[in-house]
Amino acid sequence: MLVRLIREYVEPYRSWLTAVVLLQLVGVVAMLYLPSLNADIIDRGVAVGDTGYIIRTGAVMLGVTLVQVVSTVSAVWFGARTSMSMGRDLRAALFHRVGTFSAREVQEFGAPSLITRSTNDVTQVQMLVLMACTIAVSAPIMMVGGVLMALREDFGLGWILAVVVPALFLSVGLVVSRMVPNFRKMQARIDEVNRVLREQITGIRVIRAFVREPHEAARFGRANDDLTDVAVRAGRWLATMFPLVMLVVNVSSVAVIWFGAHRVDNGQMQIGALTAFLSYLMQILMSVMMATFMLMMVPRASVCGDRITEVLDTHTSVPRPEEAELPDSARHGWLDLEDVTFSYPGAESPVLSGVSLSARPGQTIAVIGSTGAGKSTLVNIIPRLFDATSGVVRVGGSDVRRIQPEALWAQIGLVPQKAYLFSGTIRSNLLNGKPDATEAELWAALEIAQASDFVATLAEGLDAPVVQGGTNFSGGQRQRLAIARALVRKPGIYLFDDSFSALDLATDARLRASLRPTTRDATTLIVAQRVTTIIDADVIIVLEDGRVVGRGTHHELLEGCTTYQEIVTSQMTAEEAA
């Protein structure tokens, strides 16, 4: 998975990788040439006292060093550009893929996990690519070249290389194989810590209201301890890597000096050659050490690559139509549901079962029912946040599964159950509904939504700041701003998913009254818990356990629908209901 992921996203930067390989090759060859020149100075220059030769060879060494420095710096620069560009593309690919997900896929992965995969996991893969460009390219060249140059200096000590290099690879391989499972668990524990932390930050007011701080602190402590335990186990194996490598390095150095000294004493080897052989051995082991540092990152990056690929290989359950069509302009605002059923995968019973309704511009359709009756699911099916398990949803006379998504969403103004505002300003949030809206249109929408009064009192007006989620406004203010955002769009179909729940009765009544002229040429679907919100609807649909158990006006349902009667009785007096 990791190799396929890197190959796919590094492919556009092949020219940069070619530059990295060539520059690293030049830099390593220059590095390998230096010990040989040093040996010549010792054996030919110092031994015979040829100062001129020493100066000339030293000048060559300085030139070779300069070439090595320039090549290495340039290779790192190209490698950094490659890895950073790859990380940028990978994050963009994850963002776009998640953007195609329906609510079902988002729920399956979980928001904290998707955030971790798009940030922490991508960073791990990105750093592996950077290390590969700077180390994985140079290390093999240095190791092979070092072996050849060392054998060129003295073949008799070659057996040391034949013992040391395999021993080092086996030791590193053993440690890496033990690290992989722990890094896999570690990423899962990071997801869990993020999930708990996100819940606690989001629900801080509820936690304090119910004095649950000790419980939540303990819950976070358990998640944190679980992560720490796995990280410590992985860290222990990681900590053994460097001492193990250094042990092999030191033992091999002692072996070269010991056996090399005997060969020098016997006249089989010169002192300069021994010095060069030792330098080449250090370069060989250094290349193995550098490869080891990269291998330390491979297990964790491999796990991260699997998690990223899992997201990229997941296809949405609401795919774009292969042959998209546009809604019939003559049927602008038409909404039809024909025997719609929806079930979650693995659920024992459907959330919606056999729901049918028809609405035309100028009509207001209301949906009411107990909690869990399927009201919000019904609203989410219309703009294809979910796809119906069976049955057909038509907008403008066309099946929503065949309509071009942008054309479908352009016809719908959705105000979700939880009014969500994006960080920015009131103006930027309203412009989400219609990017080219004029200031007059924005104020008109705020006026209808009963939000113009409190926006006008703000010093910055439309440019008043909005924090993430709109938490610097009250629940009622957020709902009114969300309604204004939908009104700016002027769609053919308005979907209000319990969008008046945070409003007081007087504001609710004023808002509904101001909505009537605006929605006269559009279809309006209102999901509500309060009977007063829907009492004037043209048609009220009563849901119970996902089925339609009543349909008609308020007075018709009072006479013939028991479920509706129970809802009305629980909220209104007999005089109010009449």
Residues 207-234: pLDDT tens digits?
888 888 888 889 889 989 999 998 898 8
At how many degrees (to 10) do helices 271-312 and 51-100 cross? 10
Distance CA 419, CA 401 (A): 26
Distance CA 218, CA 221 (A): 5
Q: Quote the tokens at residue 218.
A: 């303990």
> Per-domain residue ranges for the chain?
2-312, 327-411+494-503+528-578
pTM: 0.71
Pair 388, 360: CB distance under 8 Å: no
Distance CA 351, CA 510 (A): 33
SS3 351: coil
Q: Return the amino acid letter for 130.
A: L
Q: Would you place residue 335 in the very low, low, confident or very high pLDDT band (cuts 50, 70, 90)?
A: very high
Q: Quote the tokens at residue 355.
A: 């729901």
SS3 219: helix
Residue where the block lists tokens 């963009």: 92
Report the range out of 30-39, 228-237, 321-330 with the highest average pLDDT. 228-237
Q: Quote the tokens at residue 74.
A: 């340039």
Higher pLDDT, 41 or 393: 393
Residue closest to 112 by CA, chosen among 193, 205, 226, 175: 193
Question: Which ranges constitute the DSSP H helices of 270-393?
Answer: 271-312, 375-381
DSSP secondary structure string for all residues of 548-565: EEEEE-HHHHHHH-HHHH
Q: Would you place residue 447 in the very low, low, confident or very high pLDDT band (cuts 50, 70, 90)?
A: very high
Pair 482, 420: CB distance under 8 Å: yes
pLDDT of the residue at 46: 60
Q: Report the 10 Å Cβ neighbour count for 250.
A: 11
Pair 98, 113: CB distance under 8 Å: no
Around 301, how many Cα atoms within 13 Å sit in the side-chain half-sphere? Answer: 22
pLDDT of the residue at 70: 92
Distance CA 245, CA 171 (A): 8
Residue where the block lists tokens 């690519």: 129
**What angle is formed at CA 330 by the lines to CA 328 and CA 331, rounded to 5 degrees?**
70
Q: Is the dihedral of CA 480, 485, 490, 492 positive or negative?
A: negative
φ/ψ bin of 490: left (φ > 0), alpha (ψ from -120 to 50), beta (otherwise): left
φ/ψ bin of 567: left (φ > 0), alpha (ψ from -120 to 50), beta (otherwise): alpha
Rounded to the nearest 10 degrees, how much is the dihedral formed by the CA atoms of 438, 441, 446, 447?
140
Higher pLDDT, 19 or 344: 19
Distance CA 469, CA 419 (A): 8
pLDDT of the residue at 575: 43
DSSP secondary structure string for all residues of 17-47: HHHHHHHHHHHHHHHHHHHHHHHHIIIIIIH
Taking only the tens place, the pLDDT of each residue in 471-510 is: 888 888 899 999 999 999 888 999 998 888 778 888 888 8
Q: Would you place residue 47 in the very low, low, confident or very high pLDDT band (cuts 50, 70, 90)?
A: low
Q: Report the 10 Å Cβ neighbour count for 276.
A: 25
Residue closest to 156 by CA, chosen among 240, 71, 255: 255
Mean pLDDT, residues 424-433 taken together: 91
Say which CATH architecture domain 2-312 belongs to.
Up-down Bundle (1.20)
Taking only the tens place, the pLDDT of each residue in 514-534 is: 888 888 889 999 998 888 888
* Residues in contact with 506: Cβ distance below 8 Å, sequence separation at least 6, in sequence order: none
Q: Would you place residue 444 in the very low, low, confident or very high pLDDT band (cuts 50, 70, 90)?
A: very high
CATH 3.40.50.300 fits 327-411+494-503+528-578, yes or no: yes
Question: Does position 93 have pLDDT exceeding 90, yes or no?
Answer: yes
Q: Which residues of 300-339 are buried (b: 16+ CB within 10 A; e: fewer)?
A: bbbbbbebbbebbeeebebeeeeeeeebeeebbbbbbbbe
Q: How are strands ordered across the β-sheet holding 364-369?
A: 412-415, 493-497, 523-527, 364-369, 539-544, 547-552
Residue where the block lists tokens 């819950």: 219
- Say how many residues make up the chain: 578
Q: Quote the tokens at residue 284.
A: 């060989």
Distances in whole angstroms, Cα of residue 161 to Cα of each of 248, 250, 252: 11, 13, 8
pLDDT of the residue at 38: 76
Q: Report the 10 Å Cβ neighbour count for 457.
A: 9
Q: What is the mean pLDDT of the chain?
A: 84
Distance CA 200, CA 219 (A): 10
Question: Does position 574 have pLDDT exceeding 60, yes or no?
Answer: no
Distance CA 41, CA 276 (A): 11
